Structure 1
Amino acid sequence: MNPMINNVAAAAGPNLAPVSAEIFLLVAASAILLIDMFLKGKRNLTYVLSLLALVGCAVISFRDLSAGQTVYTFNNMFVSDPMANLLKLFTYLAVGVTLVYSRQYTDDRGMMSGNLGGEFYVLALFSTLGQMIMISGNNMLPIYLGLELMSLSLYALVAMRRDHAVSTEAAMKYFVLGSLASGFMLYGISMVYGATGSLDLSRILEVANAHAANHTILVFGLVFIVAGLAFKLGVVPFHMWVPDVYQGSPTAVTLLLGGAPKLATFAIVLRLLVGGLLPMAFDWQQMLLALAVLSLVFGNLTAIAQSNIKRMLAYSTIAQMGFVLLGLLSGVVDGNRSFAPAAYSSAMYYSITYVLTTLGTFGLIMMLARSGFEAEELADFKGLGKRSPWYAVVMTILMFSLAGVPPMVGFIAKWAVLQAVVTSGQVWLAIVAVMASLIGAFYYLRVVKMMWFDEAVDATPIATPLDMRLALSLNGVIVLVLGVVPDALLGACLTAMTKTLAL
């Protein structure tokens, strides 16, 4: 290319079109923060504006996804590609649905009133912005900055109930352990930079392919990066924060933690390990193998012993993330990368469908809660079939999906991952995963049994806003429909992954 053209382009500044959704959300969140300062009482306007901001982002990302192009900006530090845009769309959906589910819950607990009433919505939006930067980061620096923006927002959200000892304790644990994980990642990034001389993932990939880096230093850095990523995914043995933070946080914040961030973390795992360090697949796949097996076994076994449904779902999350790792570790076999698009798209599909199911389960927990009462014990679901048959049906669909019972979407997701594992020749690993899932089915089906066959402990009528009732109903129907007709989403994930990886 002509150097004169390069100079003119540099003088004109970076191309802002690929980052337009992030700019829009930053401006919208800042405006909402200012508007909220003048509001008193319930934050209905803040709620509506937050949803509209997410809708605006969705319109921009859908436009970019429809174009199907991969566009780089800011000296290749930021990328807009099909994978990023598809994951962003589901991130907006997850955060938006979380806000819908949370409105009544936060109002009942006084979290949406007073001088700082709108902080829940503003912090949720800034957390979303961090996730968007993580998803589109093509350089270790913006990936880390996005991760910290998301994490700092979530730390503050966990500690929102300042006068609640359990929430404060959970926030301290999350902050201390999260800082430790960030340190791991930073140290790993510094080692990779020392070995390759670059933070740019494309350049790191070139150096690794050419075997021009010190392999020992690169592996050393890789170990710390994988440890940091494992913490963010919440997999064994970096899971210790998950049950306490899930239980101690307000349920609305628990959903913000356990929903959309899983998509962003999946994206940076793929960016760092596949986009930058794919030639070292043998090394990091062995690490992910150990993490996956430990998570599947430990998560499912420990969940059985829980009587608190939020802790049960926390250990369930650990096991579910083990399945995501199974897809990620099945992409390269003896240097053969032909399995990669199918394997990585199965992990992407699993992440998306898991988040959709998680939204519904925590939404129902918030629906059963009321002012002065948290529906956090398994016993609180007893007799739901008599109190509210339709929502018992929805919860049954969600539990069956998490357990992997056909025809729910969870079965299709597990099938896709297991197919990738078997195709890669690791049949024994698929058998371990199936056995662990059978153990996990027990505690999911226990909830179903309590809803339909046990007598209700609490017969208080369930009062739910219209928007929440509609969202919960649609949530349950979508989980069922995507299981019956899975091809569209499976195909979208495969197409996005194929175009993005270009393997």
Structure 2
Amino acid sequence: MFTQVMFASILPEILILILAVLLLCVEPFWKEDQRRNAGWLTAGGLFLAIIVSLLFGQPGEPTAVFGNMIRFDWLGFFFKILFMFSAAVTALLLMDHEKAGHRGEAYIMLLASLLGMNLMAVSADLIMLYLAIETASIPLYILAGFLLADDRSTEAGFKYLLFGTLASTIMLYGFSLIFGFAGTTNLYQLAEMFTSGDISALLAFSVFALVLVGIGFKLAIVPFQFWAPDVYQGSPTPVAGFLSTASKAAGFAVIVRFFFVAFPDFAPSWTVILAALSAITMTVGNLLALSQTNIKRLLAYSSIAHAGYALIGVVAFLPQSDLSNTEQLGPASVVFYLAAYIVTNLLAFGVVMAFSRVTGLEDIKDYAGMSRRNPWLGLMMLAAFLSLAGMPPFGGFVAKVFVFAAGVQAGYTWLIIVGILNSILGVYYYLNTMKFVYLYRMPNEDEENHPIPLTRPYAIALAILAIGVILVGTVFAPWFSWSDAAALNLF
């Protein structure tokens, strides 16, 4: 019987599907110069879906629905809102992309991927989880290689498809082993099987390693990060922004639910592995970012480093017996960090997109004099980069404070020291980029004759993101309270 709770649990997905069908029906009847309106329809529809979901789709007590395939709780709901917000802003940024903004299929692919990400956040069963991951990934492979006339884009799409398929295959093999050993695909039943002693620790960690390959690819953590710089550089810039934020957050939604729920008794051991990966990921990402001259590659390595920072919150998970739920900082800090990171990195990629749309340039040195060509755009880039560097009063600062506090609480002081040292490295290359924006001039020093105008979609998207970066960093108590409430629903 289809109950009200079941309907509420998939209300965001129903709204996304309705929006996609509506877009498919109306877009073919628009004239060529009207097809840009697909972006308005997609963004407006998603913002409306967020409002409707907040009004009528909020969960109560954690509930398993649809044959225990989906878990209807605040953790999944919070991630869904983040994903829909990311997709709505991406649709606005995609509108004025010269080669992709007038093609309705780009927005359809965006909505299809969003649908998969939403299901990733609430999957309580391995079968549903794998289907959700593939639903989210396949449209992104297409979007990465969307510009068929651009060699870099086709290369990015091919590399993303090739490596993504390999990682998914390894992860699927891990899922099959889990079912073979445990006899169930339900995540919340797996914990009982793995803690009963029927499955040896060696087998559990073998499965852990196989699954981590697939999820690590989504997170772009070392050693699974090699695809990110080329894919981010070659993809359309709005797609690269969506990849670095929503796609990465979806991976963290999976790792938080999967490992916290299915392997709780092995936490002291697997968190050591993740701690090592966190330290290596932060260090490699920041060190390689230092030498970059292309702004999108720099943001790609920055994104890798931030995956390492967020992993600290995952590492800081403490078993229920060690701390009460209300004192558990680890999961809550991950959720909050991802919220701050999404608005910050989307703002950074939005500024890059606004600049390259006018100039067609992506090298850092080409940003010389940008603050004089558009002072507001320069300020928004400054806010984004200072937030990524972890400077107050922006969202990135508070997010780092929470994950570092969670790490100290869990006893990983050495990892926090590594994180702080890496943050200092990050400050260098972020401020080095801003040096070109504010201190350097164009070769002829005629910035007044080369303005960078912002179209209405860019102005709206960047204003929303800039306000979000500041609000998350200053009025952070409500955001963290929601993150904490969402994390508590894990258990």
TM-score range, shorter chain: over 0.9
1:480 lines up with 2:470 in the alignment: yes
Q: Considering only aligned residues, what root-mean-square deviation do their CA atoms show, in Å?
A: 2.0
2:337 maps to 1:345: no
2:85 aligned partner = 93
> Paired residue for 2:246?
260
Counterparts in 2 of 1:333 and 1:80: CA distance versus 1, 3 Å: closer
1:211 deviates by 2.4
Give the match for residue 94 of structure 2. 102
Determine whether 1:363 maps to 2:350: yes
Structure 1 position 337, deviation (Å): 4.9
Tell me which amino acid in the other structure corresponds to 2:391. Answer: V
Show the counterpart of 1:5.
Answer: none
Alignment partner of 2:299 out of 305, 313, 319: 313
Match of 2:317 among 331, 334, 343: 331
Q: Tell me if the contact between 1:79 and 1:137 (Cα under 8 Å) persists in the aligned partners.
A: yes
Residue 13 of structure 1: CA displacement? 12
Q: 2:115 aligned with 1:129, yes or no?
A: yes
Are the aligned partners of 1:296 and 1:320 in contact in 2 as well (CA < 8 Å)?
yes
Greater shift, 418-427 or 475-484, is seen at 475-484
C-alpha distance in 2 between matches for 1:473 and 1:17:
31
Q: How many aligned residue pairs are there? A: 485
The DSSP-based 3-state class of the residue aligned with 2:329 is: helix
The TM-score with structure 1 as length reference comes to 0.92
1:148-190 deviation digits (Å, cap 9, x = unpaired): 0111000000111111111111111111000011011101111
Could you tell me which of 5, 13, 16 is aligned with 2:7? 16
Counterpart residue identity of residue 29, structure 1: A
* TM superposition shift of 1:47: 2.0
Q: Residues 286-435 of structure 1 correspond to what in structure 2 (within 5 A)?
A: 286-332=272-318, 336-338=322-324, 341-370=328-357, 373-435=359-421
The answer on whether the counterparts of 1:191 and 1:217 sit within 8 Å (CA) in structure 2 is no
* Partner-residue secondary structure (3-state), 2:292: coil
Indicate the larger mover: 177-186 or 464-473: 464-473
Identify the match of residue 73 of structure 2 among 68, 81, 85: 81
> In terms of mean alpha carbon deviation, does 150-159 or 466-475 score higher?
466-475
Name the CA distance, whole Å, in 2 between partners of 1:248 and 1:122: 20
Q: CA deviation at 1:414?
A: 0.6
Give unpaired runs (5+ residues) of structure 1.
1-8
Displacement of 1:277 in angstroms is 1.9
Instruction: Give the structure 1 partner of residue 222 of structure 2.
Output: 236
* Alignment partners' CA distance in 2, 1:307 and 1:334: 46
| More displaced stretch, 259-268 vs 59-68 | 59-68
CA shift for structure 1 position 72: 2.1
In 2: Cα distance, 1:129 partner to 1:399 partner: 30
- Distance in 2, matches of 1:134 and 1:63, equals 22
Where 1:370 maps in the other structure, the secondary structure is helix
State the Cα deviation string for residues 434-476 of structure 1 (Å, max 9, x = none).
Answer: 0111111100011121111101258322122123213312322
Residue 490 of structure 1 corresponds to 480
Structure 2: gaps of 5 or more residues: none
Q: What secondary structure sits across from 1:72 in the alignment?
A: strand
TM-score (norm 2): 0.94
Matched, 1:149 2:123: no
Alignment correspondent of 1:69: 61
Residue 155 of structure 2 is matched in structure 1 by 169
| Residues 340-392 of structure 1, C-alpha deviations (whole Å, 9 max, x = no match) | 73111101111111111011111111111236x43311112211121122221
| CA apart distance, 1:52 | 3.4
Assess if the C-alpha contact under 8 Å between 2:260 and 2:317 holds in 1. no
Distance (Å, rounded) in 2 between the aligned partners of 1:64 and 1:293: 41
The one-letter amino acid paired with 1:95 is A
Matched residues, percent identical?
Answer: 32
**Corresponding letter in the other structure for 1:149:** T
Equivalent in the alignment of 2:459: 469
Structure 2 residue aligned with 1:53: 45
Taking the aligned partners of 2:142 and 2:66, their CA distance within structure 1 comes to: 30
Q: What secondary structure does 1:15 align onto? A: helix
8 Å contact kept, 1:233–1:265: yes
Change in Cα spacing, 1:201 to 1:334, as seen in structure 2 (3 Å) is closer
Q: Shift of residue 206 of structure 1? A: 1.7
Match of 1:6 in 2: none
Supply the AA of the counterpart residue of 1:17. A
2:490 counterpart of 1:501: yes
Paired residue for 2:425? 439
Whole-angstrom distance in 2 between the partners of 1:351 and 1:218: 28
Deviations 1:84-108 (A, max 9, x none): 111111111111111112211x2x2
Residue 181 of structure 1, aligned match among 141, 159, 167: 167
